[in-house]
């Protein structure tokens, strides 16, 4: 095999990414970008909540995510790939049926996005290996990650020219919007980066807009570009175990898994293209599901049946207990007193976080009835 020039190899990687089904691909230098300097303060302020993996430290006690140079000194380039997961379905801000809950767009898929993105990244990785002459392959290192490594992926996506980090903290591409999953490949190859002194990263196109900050029901975007996970519905419904702080429950509305509001209201998602990826087609029953039916099905399932049903879905992350707790809170926020008999059953549930959430939901529905009768 003849040795490819760096620019030919870089072009080959881009072609491989597109052939694997990614919508965007860029190369960032494996340097510690300025945005990473915010990370230690974010952790120190407790913004990661109970997500202890975010606080992983190296042997010197330094936060792993704050420096790629420290955790992967061998890496010279970061290949960042992005894939659109938007499907032709309404936004959460467009559906108002009080009997129905909301599962966020990214979780409707038939396959867990980690697997769908990782298998595509591995195709790109294979193309890289093949393009490197066999005698040089022993020195080549490549590692693929989809949320799985101590890497702040959005920062590298920005420095790969893929988009900017919006005030809602999401990575936004001018043409694609923000319904994008990211995947990164660290490599020892010195590829041609998309961003350089002469070619800066895409500009911040948020301008004076503050729609996401105003629309967030729990005020989780505490300042532009700063998200407090403890208040974020996505964190509360997916990552938080046990009871959800009472003062945040009303703001959760009818969300049962994740939250899309700060992206639904973003003007850059108004004309977001629709994906053609088969794995991202919604599973039946997950788009705007009927709350009672969803809660009843979960109640009937054993832990094993739950694991089997959601084996290939991001939904399993919230666990059966968390989803049942979320559904009870959502019913309490629905304003629909027809849920009272079902909540009556749940308030003596063996799972204390479900039972306690059901009691809260009942009290809220009853109080909302009283309020309207005294108006």
Residues that bind ligand B12 (CB under 6 A): 35-36, 38-39, 42, 51, 54, 65, 104, 106, 146-147, 151-155, 165, 168-171, 178, 180-182, 225-227, 229, 232, 234-235, 238-239, 258-260, 262
Nearest residue to ligand B12, by Cβ distance, number only: 258
Cα–Cα distance for residue pair 162/143, rounded to 1 Å = 20
Cα–Cα distance for residue pair 179/158, rounded to 1 Å = 15
Cα–Cα distance for residue pair 62/132, rounded to 1 Å = 34
324 touches which of ligand SF4, ligand B12, none (CB within 5 to 8 A by kind)? none
Whichever of 124 and 329 has its CB closer to ligand SF4, that residue is 329
Is residue 248 within the footprint of ligand SF4 (CB under 6 A)?
no
Whichever of 156 and 235 has its CB closer to ligand SF4, that residue is 235
SS3 110: coil
Which of 32, 58, 112, 147 is catalytic? The answer is 147
Is residue 103 within the footprint of ligand SF4 (CB under 6 A)?
no
Whichever of 217 and 335 has its CB closer to ligand SF4, that residue is 217
SS3 164: strand
SS3 221: strand
Least distance to ligand B12, CB of residue 296, Å: 24
Q: Which of residues 178-207 bind ligand SF4 (CB under 6 A)?
A: 206
Alpha helices in the chain (DSSP H): 6-19, 39-44, 68-71, 113-131, 153-159, 211-215, 233-238, 246-249, 261-264, 291-300, 303-309, 319-332, 340-346, 352-374
Structure tokens at 210: 């503050």
β-strands 102-103, 255-257: how paired? parallel
Is 349 a known active-site residue?
no
Among 216, 277, 331, 361, binds ligand SF4 (CB under 6 A): 216
Q: Which residues are catalytic?
A: 147
Q: Which residues bind ligand SF4 (CB under 6 A)?
A: 166-168, 206, 209-212, 216, 218, 220-221, 227, 232-234, 259, 261-262, 265-268
């Amino acid at each position: 095999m003849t040795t490819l020039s760096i620019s030919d190899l870089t072009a080959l990687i881009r072609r491989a990414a597109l052939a694997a089904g990614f919508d965007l691909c860029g190369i960032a230098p494996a340097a510690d970008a300025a945005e990473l300097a915010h990370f230690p303060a974010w952790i120190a302020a407790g913004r990661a909540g109970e997500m202890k993996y975010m606080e992983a430290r190296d042997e010197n006690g330094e936060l792993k995510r704050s420096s790629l140079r420290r955790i992967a000194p061998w890496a010279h380039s970061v290949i960042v790939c992005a894939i659109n997961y938007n499907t032709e379905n309404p936004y959460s801000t467009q559906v108002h049926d009080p009997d129905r809950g909301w599962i966020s767009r990214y979780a409707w898929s038939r396959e867990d996005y980690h697997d769908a993105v990782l298998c595509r990244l591995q195709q790109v990785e294979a193309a890289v290996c093949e393009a490197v002459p066999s005698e040089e392959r022993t020195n080549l290192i490549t590692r693929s990650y989809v949320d799985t490594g101590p890497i702040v992926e959005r920062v590298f996506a920005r420095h790969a020219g893929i988009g900017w980090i919006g005030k809602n903290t999401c990575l936004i591409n001018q043409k694609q919007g923000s319904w994008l999953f990211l995947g990164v490949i660290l490599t020892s190859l010195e590829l041609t980066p998309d961003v350089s002194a002469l070619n800066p990263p895409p500009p911040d196109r948020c301008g004076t807009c503050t729609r996401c900050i105003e629309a967030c029901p729990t005020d989780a975007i505490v300042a532009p570009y700063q998200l407090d996970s403890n208040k974020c519905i996505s964190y509360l419904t997916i990552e938080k175990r046990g009871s959800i702080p009472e003062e945040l429950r009303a703001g959760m509305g009818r969300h049962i898994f994740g939250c899309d509001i700060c992206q639904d209201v973003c003007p850059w998602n108004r004309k977001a293209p629709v994906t053609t990826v088969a794995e991202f087609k919604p599973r039946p029953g997950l788009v705007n599901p009927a709350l009672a039916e969803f809660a009843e099905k979960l109640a009937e399932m054993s832990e094993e049946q739950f694991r089997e049903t959601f084996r290939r879905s991001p939904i399993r992350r919230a666990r059966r207990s968390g989803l049942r707790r979320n559904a009870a809170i959502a019913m309490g926020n629905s304003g629909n007193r027809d849920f009272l008999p079902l909540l009556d059953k749940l308030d003596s549930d063996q799972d204390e976080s479900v039972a306690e959430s059901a009691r809260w939901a009942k009290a809220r529905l009853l109080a909302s009835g009283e309020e309207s009768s005294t108006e």
